[in-house]
Structure 1
Amino acid sequence: MQGFVYERLPARVIFGHGTFRRLPEEVAGLGLERALVLATPQQAQEAERLAATLAGRCVGTFAGARMHTPVEVTAEALETVTARQADGLIAIGGGSTTGLAKAIALRTDLPQIVVPTTYAGSEMTPILGETTDGRKTTQRSLKVLPEVVIYDVDLTLTLPAGLSGTSGINAIAHAVEALYARDGDPITALMAEEGIRALARALPKIAGDPLDRAARGDALYGAFLCGACLGAVGMALHHKLCHILGGAFDLPHAQTHAIVLPHALAYNAAAVPQAVARIERALGGVDAPRRLHDLAGAVAAPRALRDVGMPEAGIARVADLALANPSWNPVPLERDGIERLIRRAWEGLPPA
């Protein structure tokens, strides 16, 4: 057994059915008197209903969160925070809303409560990705780690089956890369394998019956575990490419992860046999990259970058950006290999 460092992140997690009803109690527990509720435009009504449950402890809503956390949206939200003298943030929704809460917290140090309604997992991390002028950059800071996360399985029952599939594979991506992270540890590896197993078991069931409460519970549990993995260790090529693609072409976040993951794992697989063995055990069979590709098909997720809006001419640009500021990866980044990876993902071919 090799030595390792494991640092438990200081977040309070509440998980179950009907846990949303505990929100006023958690707001009071943090001493908030003027909380601001954040959401995307599509979830504006949910944000208003949430705000109404908080009586005098809420100063309204800001329903302008967008994918990839553009800095101009954060600036607009900060004006609302200042104008209403907010003393805390409540984010309801997926990664876009969580990202906005984190961006505000980084600049103000306001406490956050996150109520996830997708399987994004970012609520469990001290990581913030922001987009400026078509380029997405990330940073780690405990200032952006939410103080409280309320997982309510019931709130995911209305998540469309298609988005459930892509969001769930996005979560699996966190665990896959955690299994071969440079700073990985055995505790995180246990969570990663269990998270992949739970989601891989649940997502096809949800695709067949979105109201399957047991499957929804498994999926949200898996997303929690995978998010905790993302928060505990560093990531590699897969996340690098997805951030580039999202920032450069404004591609949908979860769908991009679902498309790229099998190809990124195939690129690294030969160098990380122990990680691949764990992934295959969780997925229930050999050839982990192909099984992830097949899982995307089973949940009707897109499998080609061209189908989510990436231009073919952008393939070379992605390779340029990946090599311009390379992050750690178990296999060295080579231009030809990266271009082949993106080409296959663009065309929707099985991973090589």
Structure 2
Amino acid sequence: MGVLLLNVIAPEVRRSAFRRTLAEIIGEGGSFSRVARGEVKLHLTGTGPYWWGEEVKAGLQLSWRMVKQPGFLILAIYAAWVYAQFTLILMLLGALTSTLYRFRPIDVGLCVLCLAIGSALAIPFEKASWLSRARYQPPRTDSMTYQKVSLWSSHTIRRTLAMVFLPLAAIGYALTSKGPAFAVAVPCVFAGLVGYASTMAISECYALIMETFDTSDLQPGMTGRPVRKSIVERYRETRTNFSCYPRISAGMAVTQSLKFTFGAVSTSICGSVERRYGAMQAAGIVAGVLLFLTLLLTAVLVRWKSVQMIPSRKGRQVDDEADPGWEPVVLCNPSGLTRKVSILEAGEQTRYSEIRRRNRLEGGLTGG
């Protein structure tokens, strides 16, 4: 248990056989190479750990930085509650079929199997490359991604459907878990729908983490040597290889920690809650909490503020005079200098905050 807990809360992104990184560092006498083990401390401080405790400490620091972001914390709690709700409905359905329907254990197991079947049906829809709208009409500029034309295959539509469908499926299960008043197939079908929507919701939460906190393409040399010819020679020589970006690993670790914690708590209190309130009322409480978290997550994901991401021409000239080797970070083909961001995207560890820092734009994304 201790090793599992350490593995979850202190993210390490590679196996020990591949945990040796050759970091090229620029010093007063020029560039030099240094062997660095561990990637989290290398990301935070620019140098690797001298012993394993420094890597553990760096993992805890990075995880804490992720937790301090309100948008990410709400996203992680939502994903953890979806996992806990899946566990609760699995146990509630087993108790419902064994106590009220008087089924044998083998029949109870077959009824509970509907959750696994529903989850398996969601697997094909998690393959983003199959259902991405970029396969049909690749966007030419960033502004095209916000046009009022979308396909059912886009991530936005899938996230909307998962967030709306999951509370409705949970409420449907709560209403049909009265007992013999409904055929046993009815609560089983709704439980399968909960399993389907839960898998979709958790996968989209992970997709949001990967989209929002991946900054591996912003630092020259982050994954090999930079290819832009405009970068001055001494920056072109730097190289720091990451197999998986530590911020994403830390976000996954925090989310998994909350999921395991919520799942353990739901397992321990399920029986007492059912005996005190009844199967239907217990399922209704779970669905109500999910509905509240869904509304909270919706508020976090709505893009509400327009912020400057690329410095103006005047600002570039001032920075060029101060540092001739500097140039702003410009990704894709932006149609303007600003972008609308949500509370999730306004965190200190997101790629958008990192772009603003590298473009030397003062003030946080949530500032006035």
More relative contact order, 1 or 2 (CA 8 Å, 6+ apart):
2
* TM-score normalised according to structure 1 size: 0.24
Flag the structure with larger Rg: 2
* TM-score normalised according to structure 2 size: 0.23
